[in-house]
Amino acid sequence: MLDLNNISIAYDNKTVVSEVTFSLNSGEIGCLLGPSGCGKTSILRAIAGFEPLTQGEIALRGTQVASVDTHIAPDKRKVAVVFQDFALFPHLNVAQNIAFGLHHSSGKEKAQRVDELLALVGLPDIGERFTHALSGGQQQRVALARALAVRPDLLLLDEPFSSLDAELREDLAQDIRRILKQAGTSALLVTHDQHEAFAMADKIGVLKAGHLLQWATAYQLYHRPVDKFVAGFIGQGTLLPGQIIMADSADDIHLKTKLGVFSLTKEQITRFAGATNIDVLVRPDDIVHDDNSQNLALVMSRAFKGAHILYELALHDDPSATVLCLAPSHHDHALGERIGIRLDLKHLVMFNA
């Protein structure tokens, strides 16, 4: 559906995106996730045709639409965009906004398509209203309907929820995912909010300073992050220092941490050959609070989350070796207390220190 091959983008000779490659299958929803200024919106704009490439190529449905020498006009790409500010035309009513791109249809066809789309986004009967009379969530849906009206091959959404209330966001993200799946539209969204990404996307790409670090499912990003940045950006967790201990034979290599000693797989041994200091990613779900456990950890800080309390615990009273733990809400422990924990680590995620 969409293939980006080694693309770079620069403004005034300043490279903002370098050598990004990923693909999106038909009907899939992808997401570019990263802090502001990481170049994610530039990639979106390049796919839409608003920015030229300085390297690489973009193909849609197997046809090249952009490279260093080719630049197909935005309206010829069958790509629709939902803008961050929605860009709904204030001088047109909702129906006229949705019908804006339908140049070649008759009046009757237009009206029919508008009704279809308003039904799809769950807002029948608002066609006559002006956009300023709509709530943020309604404006969002109208913008989506307008983008879908031209039956695009690919829908691009630029920070689609950033101007909405926090409570609205996740509901709307689920709704929009449902609408897109129902319409069978491939889509790519850009956001800095991982919860939106998790709620909407099948595949997520994490970007940092113009580089795509990892393109994978949410599960893989959380459990198999490729580097410390992805590990820190996605979900919560801490990095626990550890040392590689060589025993007598080359196959008998262990990792020693404050949580205990772990044996390494063959693959890990090859990957970290020669390293001694290692950081281990520990997620809150790897540590289970157990009052009966003899393994005690010191409460450094706590945050009440409603159903759970998130504790930051120091192992062996060492403040440089901390882990996070989600304990059930009734397990209410004060700062400085020592509480029992149990390790529930399914796999080791290690990085060079």
First to last CA, the chain: 39
- CB closer to another protein, 80 vs 323: 80
Instruction: Assign 3-class secondary structure to 20-53.
Output: EEEEECCCCEEEEECCCCCCHHHHHHHHHCCCCC
- Residue 31, classified by CB atoms within 10 Å of its CB into exposed (0-12), middle (13-18) or buried (19+), is buried
Distance CA 178, CA 272 (A): 43
For residue 261, give the amino acid letter: V
Q: With contact defined as beta carbons under 8 Å apart, do 242 and 256 qualify?
A: yes
**Closer of 108 and 132 to another protein (Cβ):** 132
- Contact by Cβ (8 Å): 245, 254: yes
Distance CA 239, CA 281 (A): 5
Question: Of the two residues 48 and 309, which places its CB atom closer to another protein in the complex?
Answer: 48
The interaxial angle of helices 166-183 and 107-120, nearest 10 deg, is 130
Nearer to another protein, 88 or 231 (CB): 88
Closer residue to another protein (CB): 90 or 336: 90
Nearer to another protein, 90 or 274 (CB): 90
On whether the CB atoms of residues 188 and 154 are closer than 8 A, the answer is yes
Name the minimum Å distance from CB 155 to another protein: 11
Continuous segment of H or E residues that includes residue 213: strand 211-216
Q: How many CB atoms lie within 10 A of CB 62?
A: 7
Q: Among 240, 275, 285, which Cα is nearest to 261's?
A: 240
Q: How far is the CB of 90 from another protein (least distance, A)?
A: 5
Q: Which is nearer to another protein, 89 or 304 (CB)?
A: 89
* Cα(180)–Cα(194) distance, integer angstroms: 19
Question: How far apart are CB 75 and another protein at their closest, in Å?
Answer: 4
Query: Which lies closer to another protein via its Cβ, residue 158 or residue 312?
Result: 158
Minimum CB separation of residue 327 from another protein in Å reads: 40
* Closest CB 85 distance from another protein, rounded Å: 5
Query: Residues interacting with another protein, by CB under 8 A?
Result: 48-50, 73-75, 79-81, 83-87, 89-92, 100-101, 103, 130-132, 146, 150, 163
Closest to another protein by CB, 139 vs 238, is 139
Query: E strand or H helix at 19, and its extent?
Result: strand 14-24
Kindly state the smallest distance separating residue 243's Cβ from another protein, in Å: 51
The minimum distance between CB 153 and another protein, in angstroms, equals 12
Using the CB atoms, write b or e for 201-236: b if 16+ within 10 Å.
bbbbbbbbebebbbbbebebbbbebbeebbbebbbe
Q: How far is the CB of 100 from another protein (least distance, A)?
A: 6
Minimum distance from CB of 91 to another protein (Å)?
4
